Chains A and B, each alone.
Chain A
Amino acid sequence: MESLIKDNTFISSLDWRKKGSLIPVYNKNIFTIDTGGNHENCIVILHGYLSSSYDYYKVLPELSKHYRVIVQDLIGFGFSDKPEKKYFTIIDQTDYVLELWKILGLNNVTIISHGYGNLLTTEILARQNHLATNIEIKKIFFCNGDAPVNHYNYLDIHNTFKDVDSEKMISMLTSFGVYKKIMKDYFYDETKITDEELTEMWVQLENDNGRDIINFIYHYVRERKIFWNRWTTALKETENSIELIWGKEDKITHDWLESSKEEKTTNYEICLIEKSGHFPMLEKPQEWLQCVLKK
């Protein structure tokens, strides 16, 4: 297959910033890139924790040849506003996502999400099941991330929760050196992420004192416990078609693949990407695109 990615795609944060605009949603500005507007079918992308829309810089040009693509920085990340308080819940984050989509006039979307973004997608599914949102979903692609824990009494298993990984993520915020080291570790082939790229990502984390405000991972781990049943039920009951796009060699998250087999949640299609870690859209952009674009 002909290459979908040009060799020289690198883009600086500043140039990335120019691709999008700040859209006011409730009392916050959300950095949004809205491209490929000539297409009727729409893909919306929800990035992961400690990331930003920038994760998709390699795949966006090709994707927007086929879809209207909307990538946004979630509240607290990238060029979007920061929450005033440290506790910015997934419920709040989802409110802002849905309101942005409403402002953009979207009502039938394909969602691609990754890591933390998967939880937002799952919350959207819960609201759909509870008839609390009008959004229509064509298809969902979940990329690498943890599955909602399916356990009746979540508090009994708090120890098995991966607090080590939470701590690792928090430590990423301490300095660029630590950040770089851990990020590289999330890749299967660490040469697939350059220092140049990591610097741009770090700049975005730093933006507007972001580092001080987004260490809310413990909080979101707790929310996952609170909503375990809401979210596993949402995944079980949804009639939307779901596909997993998975970097096979992910060192931090893997349990979704296992639990989806165990639970037989739904008949997920799985598009497995060999020799890719936690960020398949950055490490194996070509393969990632094939997963999304194949008909």
Chain B
Amino acid sequence: MNNLDWKNKGTLVSVYDKDIFVIDKGKSKDTLVILHGYPTSSYDYYKVLPELSRHYRVIIHDHLGFGFSEKPLEYSYSIIEQADVALQLWKQMGLTNVTLLAHDYGTSIATEIIARHNKHQINLQIDQLILCNGSMHIELSKLRVIQKLLRNKITRKWVAKMTNFSLYKKNLRNIFFDKKKISDEELQEMWFQLLHNRGEKIIHTLSNYINERYTFWHRWIGALKETQIPTKIVWAKNDPVAIDLIAGLLAIEIPNNKLFWLNECGHFPMLEKPEEWTELILNKEI
């Protein structure tokens, strides 16, 4: 699917005076809200949306600074702020009960939301939490060279300036288990969305979240350890970044959880093994 078709599927919704791109599909009374990863967008879900939306009303938004959402230059792209935006968007849409699914960067936003949920700061009822590959245990994560460079305050700007399509393509493809499962065309569409709204100007500030995962480690991992929300962990086993050890540890820490593995699959299971992944997501076992 090209990115224009994707764009036509959604609308821009104003949240705190910023435009947020939102896909809202499906007529079920059960709502599934999705928090996508870095540095991609809601587009990661283009293969699975048709099937998911047969079972759920599915709402995916591009985080501020990503995809077709606004990319303000002067902004602290913090996970705390992204959680504010997501919660406010859902409030504006009148959601009261949701299943919350998160992947990669989105898992950190999810843990912040769970922290607030535990403290009864939000009125949203979360019926189920679904965590996909994400380096919540940042200390176990195998950061790619590019992530390390983006984390470093000296090299990050330089890297951001040097980033081009071929580097992007190489980095993204490398975290697939089967490199053939992502086409040049798809990567081109993803790259286009990164550049949309002059995203290349802010890409290095988006990567602050890696530092935040250290700063808020106790808050976020603590929130997972405390939560009573039924949690499904769906993990692609061959993710070179968010390694399987993270899923194993989460399965020990989260009180009410069930872990499902996806074999021979890399960091983007919804793109690499869409059918198997969707089946696990829709599985009502937990």
Residues of A within 8 A of B (CB): 26, 85, 87-89, 91-92, 95, 99, 129-132, 152-153, 155-156, 158, 219, 222-223, 226-230
Contacts and interface: CB of A to CB of B under 8 A. Distances in A.
A152 B73 contact: yes
B80 interface: yes
- With most chain B CB atoms within 10 A of its CB, the pick from A88, A129, A155 is A155
Nearest to B84: A130
Interface string B76-104: 10101100100110010000000000000
Contacts of B91: 131
B119 A95 contact: yes
Given A95-B119, A132-B121, A226-B76, A156 B153 contact: yes
A223 B215 contact: yes
Nearest to A88: B218
B159 to A, nearest CB: 13
Given A130-B88, A131-B88, A155-B156, A230 B80 contact: yes
B215 A89 contact: yes
A95 B219 CA distance: 11
B73 A87 contact: no
A222 B211 CA distance: 9
A25 to B, nearest CB: 10
Nearest to B154: A155
A222 B215 contact: yes
9 closest A-B pairs (Cβ-Cβ)? A229-B76, A155-B153, A85-B218, A130-B84, A87-B218, A230-B76, A229-B75, A152-B74, A226-B78
Given A89-B219, A227-B80, A229-B74, 14 more contacts: A87-B215, A87-B217, A87-B218, A89-B216, A91-B219, A95-B119, A95-B121, A132-B121, A153-B205, A155-B156, A156-B153, A226-B212, A229-B75, A229-B76
A164 B118 CA distance: 38
B123 to A, nearest CB: 11
Contacts of A152: 73-74
B80 A91 contact: yes
11 contacts: A87-B215, A87-B218, A95-B119, A95-B121, A152-B74, A155-B156, A158-B153, A226-B212, A227-B78, A229-B76, A230-B78
A107 to B, nearest CB: 16
Given A227-B80, A229-B76, A230-B78, A219 B218 contact: no
A87 B16 CA distance: 30
A230 B88 contact: no
B197 interface: no
A158 B84 CA distance: 26
Nearest to B17: A237
B138 to A, nearest CB: 13
A85 to B, nearest CB: 5
Contacts of B153: 155-156, 158
B224 to A, nearest CB: 15
B75 A226 contact: no
B87 A132 contact: yes
Contacts of A228: 76
Contacts of B84: 130, 132
B278 interface: no
Contacts of B76: 226-230
B11 interface: no
Contacts of B121: 95, 132
B122 to A, nearest CB: 8
B86 to A, nearest CB: 11
Interface in B36-61: none
B72 to A, nearest CB: 9
A135 B121 CA distance: 12
B3 interface: no
B219 A92 contact: yes
Contacts of A219: 215
A89 B119 CA distance: 15
A89 B115 CA distance: 13
Given A91-B216, A132-B87, A219-B215, A99 B119 contact: yes
A130 B16 CA distance: 7
A223 B80 CA distance: 11
B147 interface: no
A156 B212 CA distance: 17
B118 to A, nearest CB: 9
Contacts of A132: 84, 87, 121
Contacts of A222: 211, 215
A26 B208 CA distance: 29
Contacts of B119: 26, 95, 99
Contacts of A99: 119
Contacts of B215: 87, 89, 219, 222-223, 226
Nearest to A228: B76
Interface in B195-226: 205, 208, 211-212, 215-219
Contacts of B157: 153, 156
Contacts of B219: 87, 89, 91-92
Contacts of B87: 132
